[in-house]
Amino acid sequence: MYAKSMTYGRTQGVPPLLSIPSVQVSVRGPGFLCSLKKSRHSEYFMEVQTEERSEEPRDWRGLRAMLLNLKTKDAEAVAVWLRDAGYVCQTVPAKYSNQGDLLVPKRDVVSPEILRWVSICKDVIAWLMGLDRGYFADAVRIAQKSRANILSPKGQRKFVEEVSAPIQLEVLTLHRFLAGFGSAPALHAFFFWDAEGEASVAVDVSSPMEALAVSVHVDRSFTARRWASCRLCGSRFEQKKSTDLYCSEKCKNNFITTRRRQKISLLRQGDTAWRALPRVKHKRLDRQEWILQWAQRRFLEGKIDTAFAKKTLNEISKRKG
C-alpha cells in the first residue's frame, strides 16, 4: 500500500532525469468499495475495503467540492455523497446491529457518528484548501515532524500550536490529511503512456477520503485552486484562478450591476451638488471633472472610468434639459 520510508528518499540528492510539466497526474481510488470502522484510538473512522467492486474512475475534485457544500446534518444527503464517493451504503444486517464497531452507512440514514466524521473531514479540507502555498508546505513539514508524537496529548498540543490550526479542527484528522493516511508520506504511483501516447502518472490510494486528501495536496502544491468566499453573496466556492472572485456568473453580473448603479447614483448626487454651487465657481471649473472628482472621493471600491462618467453625465444633463 505504502512505500516503506527506506525506499522513500532513495532519489534524494541525485538530479532528476526530467522535470515534465505536461505529465497528466490522476488519483486512482481503491478497486473496492469501503466501509467505515470505528477506530479504537480516536473519533475517526478506519476505512476498510470490502469485497464489493468499485466503479472507477471517480472525479475526486468534483466529489471534494460536493463535500465542501454538503449539509453534514442532512443524513440523507450525506448517504448519497458517501455512496458517490465509493463507500458501501446498505441497511446494516441485524446480526451486526449490536456490534458497536462496524458502522456501515445505511441506504438512507447515516448514524450520528458517521455524520460527525464526515463533518470533521469537511472542516479539515475546507481549512486546508484556504491556505496559501507556502503556509501549506510549512504545515506538511510540521505534520511530518510530529508523526512520532501525534498520539500523545502533548504531541497533539504542540502540533496544533505550530501549525496554528483553528481549535475546532479534529487534530488527528488534520494530521492525517497533512502527513498522509498511512505510515509513510510516500504513495505508490504508476508512470505510463496512455492510449493517446501521453505520459501519465496515476497515484494509487486505498480509500476515498485518502483520494480527497491527495487531491488537496495536488491543488495546494501545483494549482491555484482554492476555497474562497464570494465577493457578493459570501458563500464559499472553489477558485480555479486567484482572480476568480464570485461563486457564480449570476453573482458576478449582480456585483457589476450593483457597482454600476452605485456609480451612476453618485454621479447624479454630484450633479446636484454642482448645481448648488455659486455661479462664479461654475465659470471657473469644469463641470464633468468636478463631479467626477466629487463622486470618486465617495466611491472607495475602485476607479470611476472617465469615459463612463462623461457618458452618464451627458445623459443626466439631457434628461434635465
Task: Compose the 105-144 pattern: x for residues touching Zn ion by CB under 5 A, - for all others.
Answer: ----------------------------------------
b/e per residue, 90-114, with b = 16+ CB within 10 A?
A: eebeeeeeeeeeebbbeeeebeeeb
Q: Which one among 46, 186, 233, 285 touches Zn ion, defined by CB under 5 A?
A: 233
- Of how many residues is the chain composed? 321
The answer to whether the Cα torsion of 261, 266, 271, 275 is positive or negative is: positive
Q: Which stretch binds Zn ion (CB under 5 A): 22-30, 104-112, 163-171, 247-255?
A: 247-255
Q: Does 239 bind Zn ion (CB under 5 A)?
A: no
Measured distance CA(307)–CA(321) in Å, rounded: 21
Number of residues in contact with Zn ion under rule CB under 5 A: 5
User: Binder to Zn ion among 139, 247, 291, 313 (CB under 5 A)?
Assistant: 247
Binding mask 271-300 for Zn ion (x = CB under 5 A): ------------------------------
**Of 48 and 230, CB closest to Zn ion:** 230
Least Å distance between CB 38 and Zn ion?
Answer: 38
228 binds Zn ion (CB under 5 A): no
Question: Smaller CB distance to Zn ion: residue 251 or 309?
Answer: 251
Residue 60: exposed, middle, or buried by beta-carbon count in 10 A (0-12, 13-18, 19+)? buried
> CB-wise, 66 or 233, nearer to Zn ion?
233
User: In sequence order, which residues have a C-beta less than 8 Å from that of residue 64 and are 6 or more positions away?
Assistant: 125, 212, 215, 216
Among residues 65, 77, 230, 285, the one that binds Zn ion under rule CB under 5 A: 230
Who contacts 222 (Cβ-Cβ below 8 Å, separation ≥6)?
A: none
Nearest-angstrom CA–CA distance, 284 and 287 = 9
d(CA 110, CA 112): 7
Given the rule CB under 5 A, which of 50-58, 123-131, 231-239, 304-312 is the region that contacts Zn ion? 231-239
What is the nearest approach in angstroms of Zn ion to the Cβ of residue 61? 20
Element (H, E) at 134: helix 133-145
Nearest distance from C-beta of residue 243 to Zn ion, angstroms: 15
HSE toward the beta carbon, residue 149, CA cutoff 13 A: 11
- In DSSP notation, 271-295 reads HHHHHTS-HHHHHHS-HHHHHHHHH
Shortest CB 253 distance to Zn ion, Å:
11
Q: Are 25 and 218 in contact (CB under 8 A)?
A: yes
Binding of Zn ion by 251 (CB under 5 A): yes
- For residue 242, the minimal CB distance to Zn ion (Å) is 17
Binding site for Zn ion (CB under 5 A): 230, 232-233, 247, 251
